[in-house]
Structure 1
Amino acid sequence: MTVQTCKRVVLVPMIMWGHTRPMCTLAARLVKLRSVNITMFVSGAFFERAKAEITQDFEADELHLLTNITLVPLKQSNSPFDSASYEADFLDTWAKFMEGQPLNGYTADGKAHNVEPSEKDRLSGAIVDMFAIRAFRELHGLKDRLGIKVFSWYPSAASSLFYWFGEDRIPHAVELAARKGVSFDVAAHELVVQTSGRLVESPCLPTMYDYEYRPQAAYFPPKFSGNVLIQVHRNFRDADGMITIDAADYHPRTTAAIRQWFAPRPAYYAGPLVPRALRVLPEDKGAEDVMRFMDARLQSHGAKSVILISFGSMFWPPNTEKVGAVLDVLMDKNVPFILSRCSPLSAIPDETASKLEKYGAALVSPWVPQQAVLSHPAMGWCLSHAGHNTVFECIYANVPMILWPIDADQPPNAIQLTEDLGIAYELIEVRNGAGLGPIYRTGRKPDGSIKAVQAEFRDVLGRAFGQDGEEKRVRLDALRTKLQAAWAEGGAARRDMKTFLDSL
C-alpha cells in the first residue's frame, strides 16, 4: 500500500489584488487535488477578502480542507507600485522562521494557526509572484538547502510576456545609466516603459509599434521600473518553471510559444481561476446597495441592460475628459451603468460628477462585487480595461466586453478578444499620448478628440445592443464552454496542476 506524502507549498503573491485574487483560487484548487498544505503570505489589507475568496471555491463537503491553507498577513504601503514594506516584512518574517520562530497566521476558516519552524524542512516548493523580486531571490537562494523548487507566478495574459519580459535589459540599463549620467532606475524606465515608435515582433501577436502596447501612456514610477519590471526576466530565467493564470485553450498559439520559451522547464497553465460561487462576499462593503441597484434596473430597463464599467483595482484612464465623454453618452442614451472606482487613480470631471448626481440610472461605488454583478440577469456588457481576471470573469458569466485597454497585458488581450475571438469591441479613439500614433496592422490613426470618442462610443453601443452584439454573445458562450472544461476531470488546467504537484 502506497502512502501519499503531504506536500507543503509556499505562495507569495504581490500587493495588487489582481495578483492575489487568482492565487487564492489556486490555493483552494491545489488542496483539493492532492494532499497539500499551503502557507500563503498575503497583504494585511487583503486578509479578510483573501480568506473569503478562498472559501467561495469550496462546496459544503470540502470545507474541512480549509485547514490545509494558512494565511500569513504582511504589512504594505498604500501604493500598488511600492512593495518595499511588504517584501521587507516578508524577508523579516521568513528570516525569523528560518531561525526557529513560527509563522503566525490563520487557517482559511479563520482559526489562529502557527506554522512551526520544523515545517521548513518538509517544504516541497514555492510559487512567487513575478513582481516579488526580493522574495523570489530569497527563496531561490535557499532552494538547495531546503530541497525545494521555486516557480514564478505570472498573473497576466501570457501573450504579454515577450514584450515586457522577453529579454534581459539590465546590462543595457547599466550601460545607459553610465553613458547618460542618470540613475539605474531612470535608465531602466527609459528602456522598459518609454516608447519610441519601434516595431515589435512577437511569436504570438501581430507586429505592432511599441506604443500600441501602452495606448494610454499610463504612469509608472521610475523606481518601479528599476526595482521590479526590469528584474522580472532574470527571475523567469532562474525559476524552475512558471505558473500562469492564463488558460491553455484561450490562445493556443501563445501557449505553444510560452512553453517553447521556457523549455525544458515547464510552463503550467492554471487558468481560468474563477471561483465556483459567484456570490456577494461579507467583506464587500456596499454590496447590498449594488445588488439592489441591479434588481431595480432589471425591473426598469430589463435583462442584459446594465453596463459595468471597471478598470480594475490598479488602473484608470489618464485622460479623465474621455472618461467623462463616455459617461455622458451613456447618460444621453439612458443606458443604466455601474461605475467601479476602486482604483486609487480614479477620477472624473466635476461636470460629469454633477450630471451623475442627477442621473437616476447609474451607481458609482468605491468597490463592486464584480463576480456577483456579472452573473446578475440585468448585466448586459462590461466596459473594461481588459485585465485578465476581469476577462475570465466576463467569459464565465457570458458577458461580452467593450474594451479600453490601458497597459500591461491589456492591449494584447484586446487584440485576442476582438480580432481573434470576435467577442468584444475595442475603443480606439480613447487612446492617449503616444498611443494616438498609427496602428501598424490597420494603418488607422486615431483622431483622439472628444467628438471622435463620443462618435465611436455611440456606434459601438448601437452595435452592442443590436444583432452584432447578439452574435458576439453566441461566440462567447461557445468559448465559455471550452474554458470551463479546463478544471473538469481531464481538463488542461487540472492536468497541469496535478503534474506540478507530482513534480515536487
Structure 2
Amino acid sequence: MTDTPLKHVVFIPGISWGHVHPGIKTSLRMVKKFEDLFISLFVIESEVPKVTKYLDARPSTFSNRIKIIVAPSSGESPYQISLAKVFEGILVQLEKSFELWITEELERTTEARMDGLLVSKPSWIIEDQQTGGVSLACKHIHKLPIVSWWSTTAASLISRHGNEENGHGGRIFDYISQRRDVPFDEAPETYLQEVADRLIRIPGIPIHHEWELIPQYIPLIISAIVPLHERGANMLKNIDMVVCCATFEMVH
C-alpha cells in the first residue's frame, strides 16, 4: 500500500443542528464515495456533542476520515440566546476562529496524520450558504476555491437569489436588509408591511406569489433570514461553485 496523502476538504456547515446534521450526512456520503478523501468538519462548539455522537454510531471505516474541528463559542445553543447576538456575534466569532485554524493548517511544516493516514493540506472549502461567507472573510490568506453548499433544492436557491439575467424572488429581503433604520427585532413587522401578491416569474421555476417564498409567517424565521440574505448574496458573487444537496434522514 502506498503512503499517498489523502485529499483534504474543509466543510463548514451552518450554525444550527438543522444545517449541521445534513452537513455530517453529506460528509459521510463524500468519504464513502471517494476513498482518497479526508474532511475537516468545522463545527460550532455547542453542536459538537451531537456531531460526535452521530459519527460514533457510524462505521469507523468512513468516519475516521472525518475530523471535527471545534469552533469556540459561548457554549449556548443559538436559539437560547438573542438573535441579534447570534448573527452579530457567532458568525464573527466563526470567521475569527476559522482564520486562525486555516492559517495554522496551511503553514504547518510537518506531515499530518489521522489514524495512521497521511493527510495533505486543505485544497478546497465547502461552506453552507447559511453562514454567508465565513471562509470568504480570510480568502486573501488561504486563497482556496470555495464551494457554496445549499442544503435543499436548486429551485429554492434560484427562487431566493435568482441570477443577473432573470432577477429573483428575494426583493423584499433586499429591501429590508438595505433599510439600516429598521431594528433587528422589527424586521418581521416590516416584512408584513412590504410583502405583496405580486407574481414572480423565473425561467425554470413555477410561477408563484411573493409571499409563497415563506408560506408560513414565523417572526423568528424572518428575523433570521433578513441579516443572512445580504451575506448570502455577497457570498454567491465571490465563490467558485454552488452545490445543491437535499439530504433527508429518518430519526427515531
- Structures share fold, TM-score greater than 0.5: yes
Residue 136 of structure 1 corresponds to which residue in structure 2? 135
Residue 424 of structure 1 corresponds to which residue in structure 2? none
Name the structure, 1 or 2, with higher relative contact order (CA <8 Å, separation 6+): 2
Relative distance call for 1:141 and 1:186 in structure 2 (3 A) is: farther
1:154 maps to which of 146, 150, 157: 150
Size of the aligned set, in residue pairs, is 226
Residue 371 of structure 1 corresponds to which residue in structure 2? 251
Q: Distance in 2 between matches of 1:135 and 1:50?
A: 20
SS in 2 for 1:206: strand
How far is the alpha carbon of 1:126 from its aligned partner?
Answer: 0.7
Residue 215 of structure 2 corresponds to which residue in structure 1? 215
Matched to 2:134, the amino acid is A
Q: Distance in 2 between matches of 1:139 and 1:126?
A: 12
How far is the alpha carbon of 1:193 from its aligned partner?
Answer: 9.8
SS in 1 for 2:14: coil
Q: Distance in 2 between matches of 1:143 and 1:192?
A: 41
Larger radius of gyration: 1
RMSD: 3.9
Spell out, residue by residue over 1:224-243, the C-alpha distance to the aligned partner (whole angstroms, 9 max, x if none): 44531232122122211112
Matched to 1:73, the amino acid is V
Q: Distance in 1 between matches of 2:54 and 2:24?
A: 6
Relative distance call for 1:193 and 1:67 in structure 2 (3 A) is: farther
Q: Distance in 2 between matches of 1:100 and 1:142?
A: 11
Contact 1:139 1:150 (C-alpha < 8 Å) held by counterparts? no
Matched to 2:48, the amino acid is F
Residue 20 of structure 2 corresponds to which residue in structure 1? 20
Indicate whether 1:71 and 2:68 are aligned. Answer: yes
How far is the alpha carbon of 1:167 from its aligned partner?
Answer: 5.2
How far is the alpha carbon of 1:66 from its aligned partner?
Answer: 2.7
Relative distance call for 1:160 and 1:173 in structure 2 (3 A) is: same
Spell out, residue by residue over 1:380-405, the C-alpha distance to the aligned partner (whole angstroms, 9 max, x if none): xxxxxxxxxxxxxxxxxxxxxxxxxx
Residue 110 of structure 2 corresponds to which residue in structure 1? none
Unaligned runs of 5+ in 1: 103-112, 114-118, 247-271, 275-369, 373-504
Contact 2:195 2:210 (C-alpha < 8 Å) held by counterparts? yes
Spell out, residue by residue over 1:209-228, the C-alpha distance to the aligned partner (whole angstroms, 9 max, x if none): 11223222221477644531
Residue 127 of structure 1 corresponds to which residue in structure 2? 126
Contact 2:13 2:127 (C-alpha < 8 Å) held by counterparts? yes
How far is the alpha carbon of 1:9 from its aligned partner?
Answer: 0.9
SS in 1 for 2:135: helix
How far is the alpha carbon of 1:10 from its aligned partner?
Answer: 0.8
Relative distance call for 1:143 and 1:166 in structure 2 (3 A) is: farther
Where do 1:53-202 residues align within 5 Å? 53-58=54-59, 63-74=60-71, 75=73, 77-80=76-79, 81=83, 82-97=86-101, 100=104, 122-144=121-143, 148-166=144-162, 173=175, 177=179, 182-183=181-182, 194-202=194-202
Contact 1:27 1:54 (C-alpha < 8 Å) held by counterparts? no
Q: Distance in 2 between matches of 1:128 and 1:243?
A: 10
Where do 1:105-504 residues align within 5 Å? 122-144=121-143, 148-166=144-162, 173=175, 177=179, 182-183=181-182, 194-220=194-220, 224-246=224-246, 272=247, 274=249, 370-372=250-252
How far is the alpha carbon of 1:187 from its aligned partner?
Answer: 11
How far is the alpha carbon of 1:15 from its aligned partner?
Answer: 1.4
Residue 109 of structure 2 corresponds to which residue in structure 1? none
Unaligned runs of 5+ in 2: 107-113, 165-170
Spell out, residue by residue over 1:437-456, the C-alpha distance to the aligned partner (whole angstroms, 9 max, x if none): xxxxxxxxxxxxxxxxxxxx
Spell out, residue by residue over 1:177-198, the C-alpha distance to the aligned partner (whole angstroms, 9 max, x if none): 4xxx835969987579951111
Q: Distance in 1 between matches of 2:54 and 2:100?
A: 28
Relative distance call for 1:206 and 1:14 in structure 2 (3 A) is: same
How far is the alpha carbon of 1:96 from its aligned partner?
Answer: 2.9
How far is the alpha carbon of 1:134 from its aligned partner?
Answer: 4.4
How far is the alpha carbon of 1:8 from its aligned partner?
Answer: 0.9
Residue 51 of structure 1 corresponds to which residue in structure 2? 52
How far is the alpha carbon of 1:19 from its aligned partner?
Answer: 0.8
Q: Which has the higher strand share?
A: 2
Residue 37 of structure 2 corresponds to which residue in structure 1? 36
Relative distance call for 1:49 and 1:174 in structure 2 (3 A) is: closer
SS in 2 for 1:239: coil
How far is the alpha carbon of 1:204 from its aligned partner?
Answer: 3.7
Q: Distance in 1 between matches of 2:26 and 2:98?
A: 22
Q: Distance in 2 between matches of 1:167 and 1:227?
A: 20
Relative distance call for 1:79 and 1:10 in structure 2 (3 A) is: same
